Structure 1
Amino acid sequence: MTKSYDVIVVGAGSMGMSAGYELARRGMKTLLIDAFDPPHPHGSHHGEPRLIRHAYSGGEAYVRMALRADERWLELEKLTGEKLLERSGVLNMADPAVYSYEVRREAASSFGVQVEWLSGQEIHKRWPNLTLPDHYRGMYEPDAGFLYSEKCVAAYKRLALEAGADWLPHTFVTGIKPEQGSVKVETEGETFAAGHVILSAGAWFKTLEPFITLPIRTIRKVVGWFETADDSFHSDVFPGFTLGGQDGVYYGFPSIDGAGVKIGRHDTGPDWKPGEIPAPFGAYPEDENDLRRVLENFMPGAAGKLLRSAVCKYEHTPDDDFIIDFHPQHPNVLLVGGFSGHGFKFASVVGEISADLIEHRKSGQDLQLFAVSRFAD
């Protein structure tokens, strides 16, 4: 007999688990299905932490969502009693010939986001362990910081189950078949039905073709943790950071409990296909070389021994904006994906948005940027 639900969430990682909790909390009979058992190393949320910032370059919609996401993370902390968000501050640094912060300046001013604008010399004076060229510019957000991503996913999972959601891990979805007034979700062993389905498959969206074909490019990404020469990079005194210049765009984190400075490259990366085993860290010379070169040039005190490494995935849309919209042919199927390497910070509010769309078919957030119709041409 086919078991029925109000909502089935296919892909219960960062966004799906948050949505599953929100749906179950609102009293909807919810089933969460995932090919693995989040938190896990097969998607985009492992190898914590993740940056959270509020002065965003994507426009007002992103700033509103970032501020609301921050509120929801604090609510999650209260519900769980766990420390999930650290306000280390985030220092954004860039060569102005490559990247300008003017759009973010306007957004920050409009929403009252506290931001400090710094020259290269001012950055070095405040953080002497940074060796930026004088012509670089900085944007420092003192209220920004980082999230413990795996703890966040685990917290949402626990709350979703406590709220009554059913949980089906290690289960691949083999088919999605809309019918009159409902959607059937087929797995290798069972078939389930629901009035609504949320597809939040992350790096695995291509496994849902041809039911939905989205222009999402999935790429392999690497990060490394490097030994520091002293305590000046510790999370008590050093912020999270981004760095953009002629050599690419990078992001990173202070040393948390002596784990070393974590750094990753935001741009570039080889394609990855679902089902493939990603090449391990070090399979390409640039895996470590790119990261080490940036550390040696800009923060040499953090260019010590490689202590740890990880491989994860980005799911890029052509414009790097998200997809949060209903299926073009099936209005009871919600598409949530394409978070393009900058989405985790929004997981808390994306769960709320998803539940609002399922329950009310509208959201208090401006979702025009995320419409799937923008790919029609």
Structure 2
Amino acid sequence: MQHFDTIVIGIGGMGSAALWQLARRGQSVLGIERFDIGHSMGSSHGLNRIIRLAYFEHPKYVPLLRRAYALWRETEALAGEQLLYITGGIDGGPADGRIVTGALAACLEHDLPHEVLTAAEINRRFPGYRLPDGHAGVYQPDGGFVASERAILAHVSLAVAAGAQLHARETVLGIEPGNGRVVVVTDRGRYEAGRVIVSAGAWIADLVPGLAGTAVPERQVLGWFLPRRPELFTPAVFPVSNVATDLGHVYQFPSWGIPGFKIGLYNHFRERGHADHLSREPTPADEEALRRVIRACFPEADGPILRLAACLFTNTPDEHFVVDTLPGHPEVVVASPCSGHGFKFASVMGEVLADLATTGTSRHDLSLFTYDRFTAPAA
């Protein structure tokens, strides 16, 4: 049986970053991935993911984001390619709604540069938008996107160059902690380590049964549409955004990589279940759900469909992450689920997970992300 300092299970956004952070510290580390390295079965494909500082979900995320930006820049320099693209970002919706008030609270608490704009002001400044009267938005100039697929490969390449071992197309069947060590059992062998990081995304409850019912996979669909006026949807003039509309909460990107406006709808059709049973095949109904929002709020993007892609969110009841050691088994570090907003944090979460695996602590405030918060008795 092979022995390692740490084993990382799941080499997606967080797992690939953790693999790199451990390898650069001189750890003997093994990464195990059920699918290919850089696959389309999970949560990180589809070219890119939004990054933003005006974090309406909770102001406690902002310090993590500041570190994430710095680490994305460091990864770019080491990998020799651009991964972080700045477009500015809008968090919009009804002026008194959760997205606008939450983004503004994060900006004020952390002294982030920002502007509060009416719908009319947004539509004039960024004419790809057509937000309705009564809406508003917080514009924060540091918003943008991370090239998610390339970022995973960059982290993996850096980790391998630093000595990490990597096994793809190998399924973990079980984790056996005890006596300060962990045995990881797969369909190809058994491996022992002092610590294991479980970053298995939508499959995490299969390996950490205590998350069953708490980490719930949900099918999402992303669409790319050829704009009728492409000049309105370039990264230079179209900020990324999260917008609450009458048709749902949507998130959107300028044209990049694929020559089309990209849009997704949170809680798409609320299709939930085991990750192995959720369809990855998009349908005409998926396209129509996205196109309805385009017609209402981004009409100049209402052109031919270029691409549809299904991915998975893994949602917790409060939509915050789970990043913690397993109660009673500090040798097991649990990472995720991220409830559809986690990839931007991958760079810093790699550092956090490496710290938890090597020292058991983190310099960052992880109080939102405790493993047992859904079962712990109220104070």
Q: Shorter-chain TM-score: which interval? A: over 0.9
Paired residue secondary structure (2:60):
helix
Residue equivalent to 1:373: 372
**Shift of residue 328 of structure 1?**
1.2
Q: Distance in 1 between matches of 2:208 and 2:98?
A: 36
Q: Distance in 1 between matches of 2:128 and 2:362?
A: 44
Paired residue secondary structure (1:372):
coil
* Mean Cα deviation higher: 100-109 or 227-236: 100-109
Q: Structure 2 regions of 5+ residues with no counterpart?
A: none
Q: Distance in 2 between matches of 1:176 and 1:257?
A: 39
Residue equivalent to 2:237: 237
**Shift of residue 244 of structure 1?**
0.3
Q: Can you list the C-alpha shifts for 1:209-258, whole angstroms capped at 9, x where unaligned?
A: 54764611101100100011121111222111221022110001011256
**Shift of residue 100 of structure 1?**
4.8
**Shift of residue 109 of structure 1?**
2.2
Q: Can you list the C-alpha shifts for 1:106-144, whole angstroms capped at 9, x where unaligned?
A: 321232322111011111221233222221101111111
Residue equivalent to 2:201: 202
Residue equivalent to 2:275: 274
Partner AA of 1:242 in structure 2: N
Partner AA of 2:252 in structure 1: G
Q: Distance in 2 between matches of 1:265 and 1:205?
A: 23
Q: Distance in 2 between matches of 1:102 and 1:44?
A: 28
**Shift of residue 89 of structure 1?**
1.0
Paired residue secondary structure (1:67):
helix
Partner AA of 2:233 in structure 1: F
Residue equivalent to 1:184: 183
TM-score by length of 1: 0.95
Structure 2 counterparts to residues 349-360 of structure 1, below 5 A: 349-360=348-359
Paired residue secondary structure (1:101):
helix
**Shift of residue 165 of structure 1?**
0.6
Q: Distance in 1 between matches of 2:234 and 2:12?
A: 29
Partner AA of 1:164 in structure 2: G
Residue equivalent to 1:253: 253
Residue 30 of structure 1 pairs with residue 20 of structure 2? no
TM-score by length of 2: 0.95
Residue 307 of structure 1 pairs with residue 306 of structure 2? yes
CA distance 1:197–1:233, change in 2 (3 Å): same
**8 A Cα contact 1:206 1:274, kept in partner:** no
* Mean Cα deviation higher: 98-107 or 196-205: 98-107
CA distance 1:209–1:129, change in 2 (3 Å): closer
Q: What is the aligned-residue RMSD (CA, Å)?
A: 1.6
Paired residue secondary structure (2:307):
strand
Q: Distance in 1 between matches of 2:213 and 2:346?
A: 20
CA distance 1:179–1:305, change in 2 (3 Å): same
Q: Structure 1 regions of 5+ residues with no counterpart?
A: none
Residue equivalent to 2:225: 226
Residue equivalent to 2:346: 347
**Shift of residue 49 of structure 1?**
1.1
What percentage of residue pairs aligned between the two structures are identical? 39
Paired residue secondary structure (1:320):
coil
**8 A Cα contact 1:176 1:211, kept in partner:** no
Paired residue secondary structure (2:372):
helix
**Shift of residue 346 of structure 1?**
0.2
**8 A Cα contact 1:129 1:232, kept in partner:** yes
Paired residue secondary structure (2:182):
strand
Q: Can you list the C-alpha shifts for 1:254-301, whole angstroms capped at 9, x where unaligned?
A: 112562100000134201313226151116x2x111210111111111
Paired residue secondary structure (1:78):
helix
Number of equivalent positions: 374
Residue equivalent to 1:288: 287
Residue 143 of structure 1 pairs with residue 139 of structure 2? no
Q: Can you list the C-alpha shifts for 1:339-365, whole angstroms capped at 9, x where unaligned?
A: 000000000000000111112211111
**Shift of residue 57 of structure 1?**
2.1
**8 A Cα contact 1:234 1:257, kept in partner:** no
Q: Distance in 2 between matches of 1:7 and 1:326?
A: 14
